[in-house]
Amino acid sequence: MERSLQEILQSYNDRSPLEEAYTIPASWYVDERVAALERQFVFGGTWQVVARADQVQEPGQFVATELEGEPLIVVRGGDGQLRGFYNVCRHHAAAVVTEASGNASIFRCPYHGWSYGLEGTLKGAPEFEGVCNFDRGQNGLVPVRVETWERFVFVNLDENGAPLAGFLGGLAARVAPLNLSQVHFFERRTYTLNCNWKVFVDNYLDGGYHVPHLHKALNSVLDYKQYTIENEDRFCLQSSPMVESEVDEATSATRQGERAWYFWQYPNFMINLYAGYMDTNLVLPDGVDRCKVIFDFYFDDVSEAAAEKNRQSIAVGERVNDEDVGICESVQRGLHSRAYQAGRLSVRREAGEHLFHRLLAGDLKRGGIEL
């Protein structure tokens, strides 16, 4: 007999200390009902990165995107203020903005030509004379909450959630000294993985456990024994001192500095830092068995002269990612097996995963009660 959603949610004990804890159960990675609950209460209820701040720096600059099926626009107004809107025309619901990004002084819907100002107000509705009880003032684009932190623009579909600063908690203070403004955006790469989005996040949060086994080249430049894992609020910081190595030339040339810093912010955003280097990972579900991971690469030098070195650095990152993709897809197949229900966690290594599972369980169990 099929288990109810409530039974599935209750099958994870989010009160267990790490030494006694299990992972979230396999059903959470394969059940459509859990995925639907996540859409509503995780992705629809938390601050989500939707753009880079440098894309919407100047008045008129906009980014159009989608968050869990909701078409959205973020735009810098003529008054310098950043605003977010649903990209849904108030006339008959067409997408008003059809380019992914750009610069505009007005948004004109391609369907019947209604136009909206950058502040969201309806400016023009052709051939609409004689329509009764139609108040233009009430027919602007519907706003959505938007806030910026460091280099990133966040949106929250939940009108009642805490402001971004409260959501990020201690992350801001931990990241501030690392001066993210030193690096500049260079390139985006997007990967599709045949696994649930949480498998990718788990893999990221295993405290380096898999690094010596799966990423031999990367492992050679990290002092694995000194790898640290700190949980705070809704983030986990994994960090490792770096060492000189001749195992892999490309890795040694592009992964440098005193320490490697790997930040994860619940639920799906990562920031990875080495000297002169940053990449961010945004993990987005695409059905229960698939996810998309967007990597944005930043470097201190993005001049033409540095392009080849930067591309070499991306290639190093891509090799690590290829290794992760293979194992994540293998895990997803295993999670479907009748042989597997849940696993235990390494106390030394897997505290980050434990935090992730508890935060997720908190949101899903709260959501399960509201349903």
Q: Which secondary-structure segment (H or E) carries 149? A: strand 143-149
145 binds, among ligand FES, Fe ion, none (CB under 5 to 8 A by kind): none
Backbone angles phi, psi at 115, to 5 degrees: -125, 150
Q: Which secondary-structure segment (H or E) carries 252? A: helix 249-254
Q: Which one, 113 or 326, has the nearer CB to ligand FES? A: 113
Q: Which one, 96 or 364, has the nearer CB to ligand FES? A: 96
Query: Min. distance of Cβ 183 from Fe ion in angstroms?
Result: 21
82 binds, among Fe ion, ligand FES, none (CB under 5 to 8 A by kind): none
| Integer CA distances (angstroms), 62 to 48, 72, 81, 82, 87, in order | 17, 10, 12, 9, 11
94 binds, among Fe ion, ligand FES, none (CB under 5 to 8 A by kind): ligand FES
Q: Which one, 202 or 324, has the nearer CB to Fe ion? A: 324
Query: Min. distance of Cβ 327 from Fe ion in angstroms?
Result: 8
Q: How far apart are CA 26 and CA 361, in angstroms?
A: 13
92 binds, among ligand FES, Fe ion, none (CB under 5 to 8 A by kind): ligand FES
Classify residue 79 by burial, with Cβ atoms within 10 Å: 0-12, 13-18, 19+.
Answer: exposed
Helix axes 351-370, 197-204, angle to 10 degrees: 150
Q: What is the 3-state secondary structure (H, E, C) of 209-228?
A: CCHHHHCHHHHHHECHHHCE
Query: Min. distance of Cβ 111 from ligand FES in angstroms?
Result: 4
51 binds, among ligand FES, Fe ion, none (CB under 5 to 8 A by kind): none
CA-CA-CA-CA dihedral for 144, 146, 152, 157, to nearest 10? -40
Query: Min. distance of Cβ 137 from ligand FES in angstroms?
Result: 17
What residue ranges bind Fe ion (CB under 5 A)?
324
Q: Which residue's beta carbon is nearest to the bound Fe ion?
A: 324
Q: Which one, 67 or 331, has the nearer CB to Fe ion? A: 331
Pairing of strands 70-76, 61-67: antiparallel
Query: Min. distance of Cβ 108 from ligand FES in angstroms?
Result: 9
Strand, helix or coil for residue 54: helix
111 binds, among ligand FES, Fe ion, none (CB under 5 to 8 A by kind): ligand FES
Please name which of 237, 269, 313 lies closest in space to residue 51, comparing C-alpha atoms. Answer: 269
Q: How far apart are CA 113 and CA 127, in angstroms?
A: 10
Backbone angles phi, psi at 167, to 5 degrees: -65, -40
Query: Min. distance of Cβ 351 from ligand FES in angstroms?
Result: 50
Q: Which one, 64 or 205, has the nearer CB to ligand FES? A: 64
Query: Min. distance of Cβ 115 from ligand FES in angstroms?
Result: 9
89 binds, among Fe ion, ligand FES, none (CB under 5 to 8 A by kind): ligand FES
Q: Which one, 98 or 103, has the nearer CB to ligand FES? A: 98
Q: Which one, 208 or 285, has the nearer CB to Fe ion? A: 208
What residue ranges bind ligand FES (CB under 6 A)?
89, 91-92, 94, 109, 111-114
Query: Min. distance of Cβ 110 from ligand FES in angstroms?
Result: 8
Q: Which one, 122 or 236, has the nearer CB to ligand FES? A: 122
Backbone angles phi, psi at 212, to 5 degrees: -65, -25
Residue by residue, DSSP assigns 314-342 as HHHHHHHHHHHHHHHHHHHHHHTSTT-S-
109 binds, among ligand FES, Fe ion, none (CB under 5 to 8 A by kind): ligand FES
Residue 351 per-residue DSSP state: H
Tokens 């961010």 found at: 280
Q: Which one, 172 or 247, has the nearer CB to Fe ion? A: 247
Query: Min. distance of Cβ 204 from Fe ion in angstroms?
Result: 7
324 binds, among ligand FES, Fe ion, none (CB under 5 to 8 A by kind): Fe ion
